Amino acid sequence: MQGYLRKMQTRLDKPVQYELLLSKTTVSINTMIGKTIKLNYTGRIACVHCGRVTKKSFNQGYCYPCFSSLAQCDMCIMKPETCHFEKGTCREPDWGQSYCMQPHFVYLANSSGIKVGITRQNQIPTRWIDQGAVQALPIFKAQSRHISGLIEVAIAKHISDKTSWQQMLKNNVTTIDLISKRNELAETCKQELAAITGRFGVDAIEYLQNEQALEIHYPVSRYPDKVKSFNLDANPVVSGMLEGIKGQYLLLDSGVINLRKYSGYELELSVLDKADVL
């Protein structure tokens, strides 16, 4: 199979079901666990937005013109508390209106320990799966991405807003009572939350006190003791027995690879038989 890579598509199940996308070809990757696979990077990259052939990928798959002009590549996507839509300086106001000016959820997740994050409703539970979370709980619903970012900043003063991907892949994670932590953080951040509603109105934030935590299970037969990460730009060939999938990573007995990092790369995927391996 050969084509331009996109991030793996996921479906919540026990365990999570993954599909690998290479251009128009879709393949269930769960069925390859226990088999030896080979990924070969052809040296070609096509922008995930415009399809332009590019020598270098920016922001996980964009060519430089798209990276420097699209609102979805602006820094405020990574730091929504810096949203500048109201100032009239959004790169693409129509896109910003449809993407950012809609309800977003602030959540707690347990990937390598507790963290806070934000996502749109249609990205639940995809966002949590992509981060390799084993537990997740939505705690606030905000009217816009900007407001959710302000809530995230307030909560991030007390817990992390990042995931240690190495610990996540080693599965060094202990179960957390997310509901108790939600209640604790809501009380701790009461003044900051009141300031946000004072600025944007009482309907700007909804406290989701009745939500229950979700547990997520991944198709992994063995987690690595040490994490060795492959770099397709340095070595275009990756091979090994597929021992699991977590987040957007393939876990091979020879190392791990973050497929989302290589969106837009043209790859050849093959399943090797014993003769090929020998």
- Tell me the mean pLDDT per 10 residues along the chain, length 278: 96 97 95 97 98 96 97 96 95 96 98 97 96 98 98 97 95 96 98 97 96 98 96 97 98 97 98 64
- End of a domain among 163, 186, 215? 215
Spatial contact of 47 and 63, defined as CB atoms under 8 Å apart: yes
| pLDDT tens-digit readout, 251-266 | 999 999 999 999 999 9
Rounded Cα gap, residues 202 and 165, in angstroms: 37
Q: What is the pLDDT of residue 273?
A: 77
Its pTM stands at 0.94
Q: What is the pLDDT of residue 202?
A: 94
Spatial contact of 215 and 173, defined as CB atoms under 8 Å apart: no
- End of a domain among 215, 232, 256? 215
Looking at the structure, tell me whether residues 241 and 185 fall in a common domain: no
Q: What is the pLDDT of residue 161?
A: 94
Looking at the structure, tell me whether residues 115 and 164 fall in a common domain: yes
Looking at the structure, tell me whether residues 152 and 227 fall in a common domain: no
Looking at the structure, tell me whether residues 174 and 243 fall in a common domain: no
Looking at the structure, tell me whether residues 136 and 165 fall in a common domain: yes
Looking at the structure, tell me whether residues 203 and 225 fall in a common domain: no
Looking at the structure, tell me whether residues 110 and 208 fall in a common domain: yes
70 lies in a domain? no
Burial of 40 (0-12, 13-18, 19+ CB in 10 A): middle
87 lies in a domain? no
Residue type, 1: M
% of the chain residues with pLDDT over 90:
97
- End of a domain among 190, 215, 240? 215
Query: Which residue, 135, 136, 142, is CA-closest to 121?
Result: 142
| pLDDT tens-digit readout, 50-70 | 999 999 999 999 999 999 999
Give the range of the structural domain holding residue 110, as residue numbers without chain letter. Answer: 102-215
63 lies in a domain? no
10 lies in a domain? yes
Total domains present in the chain: 2
Looking at the structure, tell me whether residues 109 and 182 fall in a common domain: yes
